[in-house]
A and B are shown apart, each in its own frame.
Chain A
Amino acid sequence: MMKRFGIALLACAMAAGTASLTAQTVSSGLRGPTPLNDEGPAPPMLPNRNTSERESRNYPEQPPVIPHNIDGYQIDLNGNKCLSCHARARTAESQAPMVSITHFMDRDGQFLASISPRRFFCTECHVPQNTATPPVSNDFTDIDTLLTRASPGGRR
């Protein structure tokens, strides 16, 4: 008798549980109040940062970000619009920073006369920056800050 009552109670509890689960709207900061089975409206597209001013790198190995628009810049087998300013021979006229010498190196560490084919497609590593505020906060601390914090007064 008790056992049967227990089963009935459990069934009731499970039914109530599923009902409350389906009624619940799962909301997170990233996707907003849209229910999980619906697709929310896309946020508006924002313009790129277009200051043409260099931005500091977060760590020395970071590929520098592109501080200007690159809409419609063709980079393919036929040509590379980026190199029209950033190639060695073009920098005097364009006053743009030259492509790093590491980009002339092939996979065996040999320096070639011009950009190595494996470094030809700029946007594989270098990207323009959007003006959107990041939806997720970032607590990255760069190495200089860490070192200063380790020894206040600055002995490095």
Chain B
Amino acid sequence: MTTTADEPNEKLKDKRGFILRCWDFARELWGVLSRPSTVFALGTLVLAGFAAGVIFWGGFNTALELTNTEKFCTGCHEMKDNVFAELKSTVHFTNRSGVRATCPDCHVPHNWTDKIARKMQASKEVWGKIFGTIDTREKFVDHRLELAAHEWARFKANDSLECRNCHSADSMDITKQSPRAAVAHQRFLFTGEKTCIDCHKGIAHHLPDMRGVPGWQ
């Protein structure tokens, strides 16, 4: 009887002991970190810090670039069965010269700070994956307009930067374009009146319900 009654107290004592030990360790660590080193030379510390910096920074960027591949994107069935399947029939997947765009070429900014900002935004997409926001075709189709609108807004805001990473207006030879394209590019693109996404919606994926989208019926 007494033993059973004592057991919780014993456990509590153990637990308190553990927390106290942790606290002691933390204080000791702080003591070591806040005082000058007495064992290692300054040069050793600097070199070790430099090496560790290279390893951590390189590791961070390598891991980041791993999430910036088509293989990573299509690792989820939401992307593989919907948007990636649709891309396969378009000119950005297969064409005469074999140059092709992968998911991050259009959907992740190439500039480092913008890329990090986009990657932080993408944490919302991890939430969506965990809670199955678009885990069926029906749910995906229901969300399609919202998802497309986000991308259109992003392209509009950065003047279709991801298009222009490959398609430079300065390098466009309009004599090689069809008459229709040449006229439209001269009137709207070269004057800056419109940006790529204003006219070229739905070139890589199917379109959502376009009622109410400017320029569409």
Chain A residues packing against B (C-beta within 8 Å): 50-53, 68-69, 71-72, 74, 77-81, 83-84, 87, 90, 94-95, 114-115
Contacts and interface: CB of A to CB of B under 8 A. Distances in A.
Which among A69, A84, A95 has the highest number of chain B CB atoms within 10 Å?
A84
B180 A78 contact: no
Interface of B: 89-91, 178-180, 183-184, 199, 202-203, 206-210, 213, 215-217
A114 B178 contact: no
Nearest to B193: A93
B145 to A, nearest CB: 9
B178 A52 contact: yes
Closest CB pairs A-B (n = 3): A79-B210, A83-B217, A52-B180
Contacts of B216: 79-80, 83-84
Given A78-B210, A87-B217, A68 B202 contact: no
Which label, helix, strand, loop or mixed, suits the secondary structure of the A interface? loop
B207 A50 contact: no
A87 B203 CA distance: 20
Contact of A84 (B91, B178, B203, B215): B215
Contacts of B91: 71-72
B206 A74 contact: yes
A81 B207 CA distance: 10
Contacts of B217: 79-80, 83-84, 87, 90, 114-115
B176 to A, nearest CB: 12
A6 B202 CA distance: 77
A50 B183 CA distance: 14
Contact of A90 (B89, B179, B207, B215): B215
Contacts of A72: 89-91, 203
A81 B209 CA distance: 12
Nearest to A73: B202
A52 B206 contact: no
A72 B91 CA distance: 9
7 contacts: A50-B178, A51-B179, A53-B179, A84-B199, A87-B217, A95-B183, A115-B217
Contacts of B203: 72
A79 B178 contact: no
B178 A68 contact: yes
Contacts of A53: 179
A69 B178 contact: yes
A78 B179 contact: no
Contact of A78 (B89, B178, B184, B209): B209
A34 B44 CA distance: 82
Given A80-B217, A95-B183, 15 more contacts: A50-B178, A50-B180, A51-B179, A52-B179, A72-B91, A74-B202, A79-B202, A79-B209, A79-B213, A81-B202, A83-B217, A84-B199, A84-B216, A84-B217, A94-B184
Nearest to A51: B179
Nearest to B180: A52
A79 B90 CA distance: 17
A74 B91 CA distance: 14
A44 B203 CA distance: 26
Contact of B207 (A68, A69, A78, A83): A78
Which among A51, A72, A77, A115 has the highest number of chain B CB atoms within 10 Å?
A72
